[in-house]
């Protein structure tokens, strides 16, 4: 299946509607029924201003955060439309990808081994 890897970049200290912006974006993705979102925090990085952001024991609010989603073209359009209606500004990348699932789905009930003991 063709789709996009969409990655949003922000900092932990940025908040929207009472939540960290990254957490809020993950919640929006879930509310929209998207297949998944991953929130990752980084140790160190810098943004368009050139200011270094890093995690320290006493100051974690400056950590940069990424929100990653592997989504279809339709899902990307719906997500961007939804976020564009909000009063936020967030940098993103959108890269074409091929995605899918390999292997068999795990069975819902594992066989009992008690009778074999």
Beta bridge partners of residue 8, listed in sequence order = 67, 92
Sign, CA dihedral 70-37-42-102, equals negative
Residue 62: pLDDT above 70? Answer: no
Write phi, then psi, for 59 (nearest 5 degrees).
-135, 85
CATH number of the domain at 2-100, please?
3.30.70.120
Task: Please tell me the pTM assigned to this model.
Answer: 0.77
Give pLDDT, residue 87: 92
For 1-59, write each residue's pLDDT tens digit.
999 999 999 988 899 999 999 999 999 999 999 999 999 987 666 666 776 656 555 55
């Amino acid at each position: 299946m063709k789709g996009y890897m969409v990655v949003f970049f922000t900092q932990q200290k940025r908040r929207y509607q009472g939540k960290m912006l990254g957490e809020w974006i993950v919640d929006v993705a879930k509310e929209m029924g998207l297949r998944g979102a991953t929130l990752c925090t980084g140790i160190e990085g810098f943004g368009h201003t050139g200011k270094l952001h890093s995690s320290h024991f006493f100051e974690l609010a400056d950590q940069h955060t990424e929100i990653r989603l592997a989504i279809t073209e339709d899902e990307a359009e719906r997500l961007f439309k939804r976020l564009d209606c909000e009063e936020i500004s967030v940098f993103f990348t959108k890269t074409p990808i091929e995605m899918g699932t390999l292997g068999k789905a795990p069975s819902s009930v594992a066989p009992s081994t008690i009778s074999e003991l």
